[in-house]
Structure 1
Amino acid sequence: MTGAPRVVTLGETFNSTLALSTDSIKSFATLVNDLNPLHHDDAYAAHSRFGGLIASGTQPTAHFMALLATHFSTYAQPLGLEFDIKLKKAVHAHDTLTISWRVRDAQWKPSLKGDLTFLEGSVVNQRGELVLTGTSTILVMPKPDATAPADTESNPR
């Protein structure tokens, strides 16, 4: 049996911004072992169709996904289950990204002891260009209260 969400709020939105320097692009690509010269070699990238250094697709994707954990962990225990991400446009060095998510739907799942939560999100650059879209399904469980016994019937918020 499922019911109304107990942890998340339907329609809830949240966002963050991310400024990408040349050094952050090179460092991140190195960290994830993406050795494509478009992420490391300024001269090579300058002569490419992009006209300069671009971020590895894993960089905006990682920040996009991480915002879910960062946001929900402030009041609950989130667990990522599924992500569908589409890269729409290259992210260039010195871009500032706005990462946004919205809770589209959620339902309490007693068997999982949390809200099965469905979200949709996007990332736009400082010019308002869409660079990434995605959807996610996550489980958001109440934080355990060390001073009270577990109660799956009450609203933890």
Structure 2
Amino acid sequence: MNRYEELGVGERVSFTKQLSSEDVSAFATISGDTNPLHLDDEFAKRTRFGTPIVHGTLISGLISAALARFPGVTIYLSQDLEFLSAAEPGGTLTATCEITEAFGESRYRLDTVVHNESGEKLADGEAIVLIDEPPEYTETF
């Protein structure tokens, strides 16, 4: 599916990225979420996880990156997301979004999931989005 006109139920996009410790540190700096659970090995060893974990919001950001792969201009209206398992820095995660319902007027309901490289589901949810027709665009960067 490469065209806006082809959007419909069953259409799916994915985005895969390895999230490094540097990504986690950068996200902590940008977001201000400096919880030592994400950044401090010694602190994290004493938690239920036993190791630093990736911010949940960074994991959910992969869903946003996947949404950018739909043709058109995708605008989030809502996201309901349940975190099922943690991710350690260095893991490769894949976010997948599938259109499950078309409401009309460019509005869609999507299943949104994030898996790790072992296929374990880390996050499961549902989003409502607008996907508008793309305007004329010439890439300048």
Range of TM-score over shorter length = 0.7 to 0.9
The 3-state SS of whatever aligns with 1:138 is strand
Deviation at 1:123, TM superposition (A): 0.6
Q: CA 1:8–1:44 in structure 2 vs 1: closer, same or farther (change >3 Å)?
A: same
Q: Specify the code of the residue in structure 1 equivalent to 2:23.
A: S
Q: In 2, Cα distance between the equivalents of 1:15 and 1:145?
A: 24
Q: Is the 8 A contact 1:86 1:132 kept in 2?
A: yes
Equivalent in the alignment of 1:17: 16
Q: In structure 2, what is the equivalent of residue 112 of structure 1?
A: none
The answer (yes or no) to whether the contact 2:15–2:63 under 8 Å persists in 1 is no
Match of residue 34 from structure 2: 35
Distance between the aligned counterparts of 1:27 and 1:15, measured in 2? 23
For residue 133 of structure 2, what is the aligned residue in structure 1? Answer: 142
* Higher mean C-alpha deviation, range 44-53 or range 119-128: 44-53
Partner of 2:69: helix, strand, or coil? helix
Q: Quick one: which amino acid aligns to residue 71 of structure 1? A: R
Count of residue pairs the alignment pairs up: 134
Task: Give structure 2 stretches of 5+ with no counterpart.
Answer: none
Q: Percent identity?
A: 30
2:114 alignment counterpart:
123
Equivalent residue, structure 2, for 1:49: 48
Report whether the alignment pairs 1:65 with 2:61: no
Q: CA RMSD in A?
A: 1.9
Question: TM-score scaled by structure 2?
Answer: 0.85
Please list the CA deviations of residues 1-32 of structure 1 after superposition, one character each: whole Å capped at 9, or x if unmatched.
xxxx9562220111121111111112212211
CA distance, structure 1, for counterparts of residue 135 and residue 16 of structure 2: 30
Aligned partner of 2:25 in structure 1 is 26
Tell me the distance in 2 between the aligned counterparts of 1:65 and 1:32.
16
SS in 2 for 1:54: coil
Matched letter for residue 48 of structure 1: T
- For the pair shown, which has the larger CA radius of gyration, 1 or 2? 1
CA contact (8 A) 1:118 1:137 kept: yes
Q: Which runs of 4+ in 1 moved over 3 A?
A: none
- CA-CA distance at 1:104 after TM superposition: 0.4
SS at match of 2:123: strand
Give the aligned residue type for 2:43.
Answer: Y
How far off is 1:71 after superposition? Answer: 1.2
Deviation per residue, 1:53-88 (Å, 9 max, x gap)? 1011110012212321x112xx31222111111111
Aligned residue number for residue 101 of structure 1 = 97
Q: Distance in 1 between matches of 2:21 and 2:8?
A: 37
TM-score (norm 1): 0.77
